[in-house]
Amino acid sequence: MVLTGVALILQFQPGKFSWIGLIFGFTATFLSANATIFSGKSRQILLASEAMISKQIGKLFFAVVGLTIFVQQDNDSPGLNIYLWALLGLYGVIKIYDTFIASRAQFALPPLIFQTLSLLSLPFVCLAEVIVFKGTFTLLQWLGVVAIVFAGFLASRSKQNQLKPIK
């Protein structure tokens, strides 16, 4: 449901994006959704902070490889690479900080509910984009926002067991 919502918001059209970019993007989204469960199960072996840091460093490495090897730039300006790397580094730092903040909530809630609640930030970003930048969304993009919100509602109704608390 969330992947459908994201595809609708981004106005997914097969010819509009590179296939490698789509494969990387959807794989990263899928792995991110499952990483919460895997890190929760592995905390009997690892410290929770180690699992979270390794998850975020893995995402950062995945993005670096994608940026370095597979991204073709339409704009040949020399400063563009610096901005992309700075943005990528900032994103990695924010995600690591976010992981530390969210780790207590992550292990206090069932994994599916936590992951879906964390994805509910996407509709807020869409609303902010429309309000701040005076943008407009198509009906399909608004359906994507509704699909993500509906996925959050469905996850909150799930009967998934809560993980054991961190010791």
Split into its structural domains, the chain has a count of 1
pTM of the model: 0.42
Instruction: Give the whole-angstrom CA distance, residue 54 versus residue 118.
Output: 19
Is position 167 within any domain?
no
Owning domain of residue 57: 2-156
pLDDT digits over 25-44, tens only? 667 766 665 665 565 555 55
| Structure tokens given for 69 | 């090897």
pLDDT along the chain (167 residues), means of 10: 64 65 68 60 53 59 58 55 64 64 58 62 72 76 81 66 51
Is position 164 within any domain?
no
Instruction: Give the whole-angstrom CA distance, residue 10 versus residue 85.
Output: 23
Is position 64 within any domain?
yes
Is position 34 within any domain?
yes
Say what the pLDDT of residue 144 is: 81
Say what the pLDDT of residue 138 is: 81
Say what the pLDDT of residue 167 is: 46
